[in-house]
C-alpha cells in the first residue's frame, strides 16, 4: 500500500508539547512505511492566539528532532510570504459561498456563555436553527445544519470503510466565525483537497472533525475526500494520565530543549509515557515500537 502525501498540521497557538511531537513522529513513521511525502501545513487563522514565536517554535522543534518534510515553509519568511492560510482566503470564501448555496447553513449569535447556560454539557444543540437569522447580519457565526446527517462513512487505515454517527459535541459545527473568518472544520478540508493529501494521521480528539469534514466535502461536491485514508491514534497522556496541553510548559519541547535534553532524552520520555517496555532512544526504535498500533 502506498500513499502520495500526508501532512503535519500544527496550530501556532502555543509552544509544541510532547503530544504534538508524538503525532508528528507517528506521521513520519507511516510516511516512511508507505512511501508518502510529508507536507508541513501551519494552520494560522486563529489570530486571537497566534504569535510569531509559536510559528518559529514549530521550525525549531522539527529541526531539533530531525523531522524532515518534503513540502511547506522552511522558515518564517517563507511561511509569511507563501504558505500562510491568509494566501488561501479566496479558496475558503469560495467554499463558504458554495455551502451557502446548498442551504445547509444557518446563522447563530449565541455566545459561549449562553450555550453553556442552555446545556450544562457545553454542547450546542441547534438553538438558532429555526430563528432564521440572516446570514449577512453582523456578529453571527455560520453553522452547518447537521440535523439530517445520517451515518458518515470514512476510510480507515489500512483500508477499511466504516460508518459513524456525528458525536453530540460536533453537532451544528461552525464553518465561519463571528469575526467572519473561516473556521477550522472548513479550512482544513479545503487545504487537504488543495494540496492533494490522501493520508491523514491525527489524534482521537479530532475524530469528530474528521466526520464533520466529510460532510463539508460532500457539500463542496468533491468526491476525492471520500478516498482519503484516516488513522486516529490514541493521545499521549501525562504522568497522571492527564491530556497534554500547550498551556502546560513542562511538557513543551522548548522547555525540554532549554533544560539541556537531547533528542534521545525526549524519545525516552515519549517511550515512558506511551507505555513501551523496550527503551526508545531514536526514530528507528520509535518506529519499530509503533509498527503499527
140: in domain = no
Helix/strand/coil percent split, the chain, to 5: 45, 15, 40
pLDDT at 182: 98
158: in domain = no
282: in domain = yes
pLDDT at 121: 84
Please, what is the average pLDDT of the chain? 95
Spatial contact of 9 and 204, defined as CB atoms under 8 Å apart:
no
Paired strand residues for 108: 141
Best CA proximity match to 188, nearest among 152, 161, 223, 225: 225
State the Cα–Cα distance between residues 100 and 293, nearest whole angstrom.
Answer: 40
State the Cα–Cα distance between residues 105 and 39, nearest whole angstrom.
Answer: 31
pLDDT at 42: 98
Alpha carbon 64 to its chain's center: 22
CATH of the domain at 86: 3.40.50.620
Could you give the 3-state DSSP secondary structure of residue 237? strand
Could you give the 3-state DSSP secondary structure of residue 268? helix
Full domain range(s) for residue 195: 5-102+188-290
Q: What sign does the CA torsion over 30, 32, 33, 38 have? A: positive
172: in domain = no
66: in domain = yes
Best CA proximity match to 14, nearest among 39, 48, 38: 48
pLDDT at 90: 98
State the Cα–Cα distance between residues 258 and 256, nearest whole angstrom.
Answer: 6
Best CA proximity match to 7, nearest among 26, 27, 21: 27
Give pLDDT tens digits along the chain (293 positions): 899 999 999 999 999 999 999 999 999 999 999 999 999 999 999 988 999 999 999 999 999 999 999 999 999 999 999 999 999 999 999 999 999 999 999 999 999 999 999 888 889 989 999 999 999 999 999 999 999 899 999 999 999 999 999 999 999 999 999 999 999 999 999 999 999 999 999 999 999 999 999 999 999 998 999 999 999 999 998 877 787 877 666 689 999 999 999 999 999 999 999 999 999 999 999 999 987 65
**What is the total count of domains within the chain?**
1
| 106-116: burial string, b at 16+ Cβ within 10 Å, e else | bbbebeeeebe
- pTM as predicted: 0.95
84: in domain = yes
Amino acid at each position: 500500500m502506498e500513499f502520495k502525501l500526508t501532512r503535519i498540521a500544527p496550530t501556532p497557538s502555543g509552544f509544541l508539547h510532547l503530544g504534538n511531537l508524538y503525532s508528528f513522529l507517528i506521521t513520519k513513521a507511516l510516511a516512511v512505511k508507505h512511501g508518502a511525502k510529508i507536507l508541513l501545513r501551519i494552520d494560522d487563522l486563529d489570530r486571537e492566539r497566534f504569535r510569531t514565536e509559536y510559528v518559529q517554535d514549530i521550525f525549531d522543534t522539527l529541526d531539533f528532532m530531525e523531522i524532515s518534510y518534503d513540502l511547506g515553509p522552511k522558515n518564517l519568511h517563507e511561511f509569511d510570504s507563501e504558505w500562510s492560510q491568509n494566501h488561501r482566503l479566496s479558496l475558503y470564501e469560495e467554499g463558504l459561498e458554495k455551502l451557502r448555496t446548498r442551504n445547509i447553513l444557518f446563522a447563530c449569535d449565541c455566545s459561549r456563555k449562553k450555550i453553556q447556560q442552555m446545556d450544562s454539557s457545553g454542547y450546542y444543540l441547534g438553538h438558532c436553527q429555526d430563528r432564521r437569522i440572516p446570514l449577512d447580519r453582523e456578529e453571527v457565526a455560520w453553522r452547518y445544519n447537521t440535523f439530517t446527517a445520517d451515518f458518515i462513512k470514512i476510510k480507515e487505515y489500512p483500508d477499511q470503510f466504516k460508518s459513524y454517527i456525528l458525536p453530540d459535541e460536533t453537532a451544528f459545527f461552525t464553518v465561519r466565525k463571528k469575526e467572519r473568518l473561516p473556521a477550522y472544520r472548513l479550512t482544513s478540508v479545503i487545504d487537504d483537497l488543495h494540496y492533494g493529501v490522501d493520508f491523514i494521521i491525527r489524534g482521537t480528539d479530532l475524530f469528530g472533525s474528521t466526520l464533520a469534514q466529510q460532510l463539508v466535502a460532500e457539500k463542496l461536491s468533491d468526491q476525492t475526500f471520500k478516498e482519503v485514508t484516516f488513522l486516529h491514534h490514541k493521545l499521549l497522556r501525562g504522568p497522571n494520565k492527564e491530556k497534554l496541553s500547550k498551556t502546560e510548559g513542562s511538557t513543551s519541547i522548548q522547555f525540554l530543549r532549554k533544560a539541556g535534553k537531547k533528542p534521545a532524552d525526549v524519545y525516552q520520555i515519549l517511550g515512558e509515557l506511551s507505555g513501551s517496555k523496550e527503551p526508545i532512544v531514536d526514530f528507528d526504535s520509535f518506529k519499530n515500537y509503533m509498527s503499527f498500533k
